[in-house]
Structure 1
């Protein structure tokens, strides 16, 4: 399989390493010195995009209009998802997006939703989310934390919305879930869900040790997407 890399930072290089290990080749690499307008997209069977939120839609549009399936790992662009859906329908395109491509994180999403349902009747427990990432991460909260927060709000009657602050827990109102975003050097990604009462605390945690899990998931997603049409997520890849 010939993969086009859109974004060639730390994640792009990690994806390249996994792609080579799995017998794939790299058709092109898009970065600030080689923008997508200068690339022959037809050289690739599929593109994997990890860039910046402000560039994501431009990259998606370029690939979809040229019938190149695209896996999107950039987060904080999802407000434009309705436009992307229209674009896919108009061009019979294919796109797979996820806030996190790690197999472990996608299992963690399921655990979070199940725990939220279990905890819903127990009003004495207050939920909170803490996410910790490297200082280069631009968006806060992380896309993964957004999915986790939405999972709690949708599955626990105690919460109707969530609010995030950086560096310290936010001040919450009734039925509001607090999300704390922390940025530290050299942290690939840690997400913590806590339910705290006066007598005990229940905690589930996902801690990434490196970027390899994200990169492997992105390549698996690309392998899944080739020769398919439509909009997909990692739940489709992993049959969750």
Structure 2
């Protein structure tokens, strides 16, 4: 049984709490939120409409006491960049592994997370792109960039109007995958900028679109989350992956899609060889001359 603490009880955090409570191999043992949150001191049952969780939402100011008392194996943090970095130091010192779904970090802040895993020998999974679908999009975009390396690339991302970071962390990761694909094809990327168009409007959960445009045709690859449950299901996979690990990981490590692709290519090669062998045998055994 994996014991889980949840930090952050916004819309995504509430959905993650619900999904963790559905799992047979996990137990939600504590929930922490900002000291200014209106959820502070309330029963989780009351907040998300569940029964018998037995959890009262505590303050981030009591983080160490919460960890000592509830002994989580993994913390899932969907708070704010500053709070996540502060929390990560405490969790790492206390040998608790962390899934970070918070977005909006600077490169320097991400380096801090990496250093924490080396210093305290715990594990951190940085997963701003936490859904399976958007990770498949990134893999496809990487492949497209390596093949269509003379095409132009444009990213558009749309999120709800309350999302602060612009562009999204996922859009930045997609741009990175495009550059990796171009680099693998021998295209110079030192000063190449992949345009990102960010839209903040209404209650859109999240949509990312990549346009790949040539002189004579265009390809579009897109992913859209219809509900925050997609994020929660990704968090479950990250928890299962990280709970017994040491080191710094990302969602690509959790899903291991490159290995899936390699296995697919290997199986297709085997099928092709079998097909050619069967055709050759059929020809050799045929009573009718093919010459």
1:37 aligns with one of 61, 66, 69: 61
Give 4+ residue runs of structure 1 displaced > 3 Å after superposition: 158-161
The 5 Å alignment of 1:127-146 reads 127-146=153-172
Question: Which of these two proteins has the greater Rg computed from alpha carbons?
Answer: 2
Matched length: 224
CA deviation after TM superposition for structure 1 residue 75, in Å: 1.6
CA deviation after TM superposition for structure 1 residue 158, in Å: 6.5
3-state SS of the aligned residue for 1:177? coil
Structure with the larger strand share: 1
The question of whether the paired residues in 1 share the 8 Å contact of 2:3 and 2:28 is answered with: yes
CA–CA distance in 1 between the matches of 2:110 and 2:156?
A: 26
1:16 lines up with 2:17 in the alignment = yes
CA–CA distance in 2 between the matches of 1:86 and 1:26?
A: 28
Aligned partner of 1:222 in structure 2 is 239
Question: Structure 2: any 5+ residue segments left out of the alignment?
Answer: 36-57, 258-291
Question: Structure 1: any 5+ residue segments left out of the alignment?
Answer: 162-174
CA–CA distance in 2 between the matches of 1:60 and 1:48?
A: 10
Aligned partner of 1:25 in structure 2 is 27
2:218 aligns with one of 201, 205, 225: 201
Aligned partner of 2:146 in structure 1 is 117
Q: How much is the aligned-residue C-alpha RMSD, in angstroms?
A: 1.6
Bigger CA drift: 82-91 or 210-219?
82-91
Structure with the larger helix share: 2
* TM-score w.r.t. length of structure 1: 0.87
* Structure with greater contact order relative to length (CA < 8 Å, sep ≥ 6): 1
* TM-score w.r.t. length of structure 2: 0.73
The question of whether the paired residues in 2 share the 8 Å contact of 1:153 and 1:160 is answered with: no
